[in-house]
Structure 1
Amino acid sequence: MSTGRGGEKQMTDDLDGSVEHRYATVNGVTLHYVIGGEGPTVILLHGFPDFWYTWRAQIPALIAAGFRVVAPDMRGYNLSTRPAGVWNYQARVLCDDVDGLIEHLGEDRVHLVGHDWGGFVAWFFAMRHPERLHRLAVLNILHPESFFAGLRSWSQLRKSWYMFFFCLPVLPEKLLGARGRRGLLRVYETEPNTPFPPEEIDRYRIAYQDDSALTATINYYRAFIRDRKDLRRNHIRRTDTPTLVLFGDRDPHLRADLAEPPPHLVPDARTIHYSDAGHWIQHDLPNEVTKQLTAFFRG
């Protein structure tokens, strides 16, 4: 087992003093997280190939709105532990990390936000532990049932081809890690809506300077594809947690017409589409995302 320490340089970035950097040992791993503010707790879960920094616009704004904000590096990412083995990145294990973090924070229930992979974890967490949540918000990720159903169509399968490529041994790491992580960082350099400036891309390069970070984060895909039949058969269930879906329709990886969660599985859900946003909606429309999250959590 190795502990990620690839991003020490970003420990000096405290968002103008609004957050502290801390660690929590939960579920057999050590999770790095930033925390700030007082009030109802909001946990922000990032996706691939992000880390806590993807919420750099929302963290101070939510703190100012009266929330206690917690943004962890999920296992395998940045400063959190990177355990070896695909089985360490199964959905149930990732959900147990979130449950352990909530316990570590001394909370019974929280508001939970997830983007991309963090959104997948958030969906499964809401299905496994609805008693832990006040409200759920997901950004640019499909409900697992919608995603599994979508994979039966060529249109979604064509958008998701890379997930199956990532299941190959060694080759994905070599491709994404080549030329100073250029293959990995190209997703930010070519973002069609609001291109990421070089100084922000450099933050992601630092987080991935250790080769083990590539394998750990790709293992999310390997575990999900390997377990997809079991997940659909045994782990998808109804959740009555009030849910908000924010979806940038220019997402190149997901069909916008699948964004609404199945009503029989998520009866209390509202979906908002944005025709001028892409996959990183929290980056494309930072003020709008914060406004919607704040209003939703204030209920």
Structure 2
Amino acid sequence: MAIIKVINLGTLQFDCRMAGAEKDELVILLHGFPETSIMWTALMADLIPKGFFCLAPNMRGYSKNACPKGKKHYTIEKLGQDILDLATAIGKDKFHLIAHDWGAVIGWYLAYHFPTKILSYTALSVPHLKGFFQALQTDPDQQQRSNYIKLLVIPFIAEYKIRKNDFKLFRKLWKHSREVELEDYIKTFQEKKVLTAALNYYRANFGKTRTEEIGEIEIPTLFIWGNTDMAIGAKGVALSHQYLTGPYTFLEIDAGHWLMQTSYTAILPPILKHLNTHRTY
């Protein structure tokens, strides 16, 4: 069973779900938007008996005492460094990485820039960033799917619309979540500074992620995509494969964006196989 532990990184305090024996290989799990680390509890419970130690942080902006004010604090470089520092803080030099949505964006950044730190990478829903942004620039379908971002980057207006009618917009996205997850999400986003911080991921990075610097991925990678994903179209997925030059497995399933909630039984076996194939002991 996961426990919540606070890990201090300088002046920031990260609320982290941790489970398993610390002697085992580390798996770090990164949540997306608009969720928290509670989305990973089922997977963590299945990884522990397989000999993995799990760390799932509420990332920068989602931990109530790790919400620095201003979008400059939410660049991809800072978000990525947090993950490396969390691993160091618990005495681990290397780790497996599993990530969804915005967590996967951070994951692709780490997989390219810090390959010696990552034993294996599992990305859910979001493809290699260069492929995605190429599709966003050229593919009308992806442009339409990403229209929602235009709202999220507008200060104050986005916050107002999201909070309207008791988070009606978010509740539509959470319709597949368990009650315990829903309660955690509402509690988290009711913190005024948390919602703005989460939106700052878009405001600090959208169009500025320097995707040309995120090139070929050589570490072992598993990418799982649902072909009815509302946010990620087929073009970006197809364009991404060329940048995976190391051991690479792609799995397309009949599902939408929220793979942990709707397709867990389908994604668990390939995730376990990927981790076991690339573990070091």
Normalised TM-score (structure 2): 0.92
Match of 1:180 among 162, 166, 171: 166
Match of 2:89 among 96, 101, 104: 104
Output the CA distance in 2 between the equivalents of 1:90 and 1:170.
20
Which 4+ residue blocks in structure 1 deviate beyond 6 angstroms?
A: none
Query: 1:102 Cα shift?
Result: 1.2
- Give the aligned partner of residue 55 of structure 2: 70
- Give the aligned partner of residue 197 of structure 2: 216
Percent same amino acid among aligned pairs?
A: 26
Output the CA distance in 2 between the equivalents of 1:282 and 1:129.
26
Q: Is this contact kept in 2: 1:27–1:97, CA < 8 A?
A: no
Output the CA distance in 1 between the equivalents of 2:29 and 2:126.
14
Query: 1:169 Cα shift?
Result: 1.6
Q: Is 2:107 aligned against 1:122?
A: yes
Match of 1:169 among 155, 158, 168: 155
Query: 1:170 Cα shift?
Result: 0.7
Output the CA distance in 2 between the equivalents of 1:131 and 1:279.
29
Match of 1:200 among 176, 181, 185: 181
SS at match of 2:6: strand
Cα 1:291–1:249 change in 2 (3 A) is same
Q: Within 5 A, what are the aligned runs for 1:135-146? A: 135-146=120-131
Query: 1:265 Cα shift?
Result: 2.6
SS at match of 2:5: strand
Q: Is this contact kept in 1: 2:16–2:37, CA < 8 A?
A: yes
1:173-196 residue CA offsets vs partner (Å, 9 max, x unmatched): 00001122222222113xxxxx33
Normalised TM-score (structure 1): 0.86
SS at match of 1:82: coil
Structure 1's unaligned 5+ residue stretches are: 1-17, 190-194
AA aligned to 2:166 is: G
Aligned length: 273
- Give the aligned partner of residue 267 of structure 2: 289
Q: Is this contact kept in 2: 1:78–1:208, CA < 8 A?
A: no
Q: Within 5 A, what are the aligned runs for 1:133-282? A: 133-152=118-137, 153-189=139-175, 195-228=176-209, 231-233=210-212, 235-260=213-238, 262-268=240-246, 269-275=248-254, 277-282=255-260
SS at match of 2:266: helix
SS at match of 2:83: helix
- Give the aligned partner of residue 31 of structure 2: 46
Q: Is this contact kept in 2: 1:177–1:214, CA < 8 A?
A: no
AA aligned to 1:243 is: T
Output the CA distance in 1 between the equivalents of 2:120 and 2:72.
29
Query: 1:56 Cα shift?
Result: 2.2
Q: Within 5 A, what are the aligned runs for 1:59-98? A: 59-98=44-83
CA RMSD of aligned residues (A): 1.7
Output the CA distance in 2 between the equivalents of 1:27 and 1:163.
31
SS at match of 1:81: coil
Structure 2's unaligned 5+ residue stretches are: none
Query: 1:258 Cα shift?
Result: 2.8
1:141-191 residue CA offsets vs partner (Å, 9 max, x unmatched): 1211011101122110100011122111210000001122222222113xx
